[in-house]
Amino acid sequence: MERVNNLNKGIIVVDCQNDFISGSLACHNGEEAVDNIINLINRNKNFKVFYSCDWHSKSNKSFKVNGGIWPVHCIVEAKGSQLHKNFYKNIENVKQSPLNEENIFYKGQDDDIEEYSAFYAKNSKGESLNNKIPKEVIVCGIASEYCVRETIKELLKYDFKVSLFLEGIGYVDKDEHNKNIEELKSLDINII
């Protein structure tokens, strides 16, 4: 019976891309988060896995050079925009891997809109993440105070059952991360 239920559970891996791990916007705990997420996925081989990716053009308005607040990051097809290589090498069930390109959902493609949440991200077939995920999801990834937080808030708004995998989180600022986790705890989510 438990196995049937697992098919209705998913893992959303938010923005575990090179620029957020070792590049222009490198976050704390990025490498460790990736390793822990891969272990989580390998322990739950029946879960569906979805990867979100920031996917920007050079003229994106979120960049400082274009009037925004962030350094240039996650430019389409650049090395910094790629998911961490270990997701391709170390996930045991290929159906859960980004080698299956339909598992990757792109966001931030509209230069004029700051899109932290992965909720409306689209895969290569134009399918929106919110239409593909099961009602029960575990969220993990980078960065705690921005894209992870906004993805969770959007999921809750639409009545998804959400768990946050704490060991699979990277963050920009330790204090802001801790404050964010406390706030998320006060919402209707499960911290695992």
Q: Residue 1 pLDDT more than 80? A: no
What would you report as the CA-atom Rg of the chain, rounded to the nearest whole angstrom? Answer: 15
Mean pLDDT of the chain: 94
Burial of 60 (C-beta count, 10 Å sphere; 0-12/13-18/19+): buried
Which whole number is the average pLDDT over 87-104? 96
Cα–Cα distance between 119 and 96 in angstroms, integer? 19
Element (H, E) at 37: helix 30-43
Beta carbons of 10 and 165 less than 8 angstroms apart? no
Bridge partners, residue 108, by sequence: none
- What is the DSSP track for 148-181? IHHHHHHHHHTT-EEEEEEEEE-BS-HHHHHHHH
Q: pLDDT per residue over 10-68, tens digit each?
A: 999 999 999 999 999 999 999 999 999 999 999 999 999 999 999 999 999 999 999 99
Backbone angles phi, psi at 160, to 5 degrees: -80, 150
Q: Phi/psi zone of residue 72: left (φ > 0), alpha (ψ -120 to 50 degrees), beta?
A: beta
Cα–Cα distance between 24 and 14 in angstroms, integer? 17
Which whole number is the average pLDDT over 120-145? 97
Closest alpha carbon to 130 in 166, 159, 110, 99 = 159
**Helices 149-157 and 174-185, axial angle in degrees (round to 10):** 20
